[in-house]
Structure 1
């Protein structure tokens, strides 16, 4: 089975979500189902059907998280020597050579990606263009608006 790269922080977030689902959400849903059952006829009981749907979603998410964690390859760059090379988990500052605008990204696993917080998936075009490069390298990255030239100004293992 394939291994999925994940940062230590991302794995911790998934573990916390899993714990929340198992200890808070699941018991609450079971209680809702029991309450709805007491109302009688289950065929026309909207509360019962809504609670069963929630239960199905919750159990599916629990299985999903457990599967991801069991196949996770957790990479903690803070324990690695900073060679200046862009690898999974590093925080990279790049400068658009056309606009001189600097942007800082952290390269993370697919589940952790959140562009609003500058967390980009290792499988994104930007990350794929940066992986293996070093500080002062100039890279051409395909964007929806065409090819953009960036210079890597900083690589942090944080």
Structure 2
């Protein structure tokens, strides 16, 4: 999982770096050739995109640094942490759901039904450091939700099973 995140991050950094160094300079050059820059929407659009790409690259570079510092031996093996797969039962409806805790910016946006939740979300924060059998309560806009943790597979257990 960690290697997948690093690869995904590296691919996005590579794509954005190419856009910043090749695509956007060409777009800006082409827009400048059109003349008056004060009313040139192509020029303004290219500059705004350039600023966005630079900000995103900075964010991704910081995240890559954080990921490289993660020591798998320091991730909890007996409680919920990064990469854990947690099965919970809603105490009111008795519905069972399984979640995988990930960094928010690595949630698979192409598969939102995959059960990934951000560690920074309300549910993610409540699940952190909990164990099988624990109960958590989350305050949601529609009311309180109480969950019973039925099962926890930590990242190390998931990696061992592969």
Normalised TM-score (structure 1): 0.76
Counterparts of 1:60-75 in structure 2 under 5 Å?
60-72=55-67, 73-74=69-70
Aligned residue for 2:118?
121
Structure 1 pair 43–114 and aligned structure 2 pair: CA distance change class (3 A): same
- The number of aligned residues is 151
The question of 1:48 aligning with 2:43 is answered: yes
Which structure is richer in relative contact order (CA contacts within 8 A, separation 6 or more)? Answer: 1
Aligned residue for 1:19?
14
CA distance in 2, matches of 1:81, 1:133: 10
Q: Indicate if the aligned counterparts of 2:75 and 2:82 stay in contact, CA closer than 8 A.
A: no
Aligned residue for 1:3?
none
Residues 14-60 of structure 1: CA deviation (Å, up to 9, x unaligned):
22111100124541111111112222232332222221221121122
Aligned residue for 2:131?
134
More helix by share: 2
Q: In structure 1, the residue corresponding to 2:101 is in which secondary structure?
A: strand
RMSD between superposed Cα atoms in Å: 2.9
Q: Indicate if the aligned counterparts of 2:103 and 2:119 stay in contact, CA closer than 8 A.
A: yes
More strand by share: 1
Q: Indicate if the aligned counterparts of 2:20 and 2:54 stay in contact, CA closer than 8 A.
A: no
Normalised TM-score (structure 2): 0.75
The question of 1:112 aligning with 2:106 is answered: yes
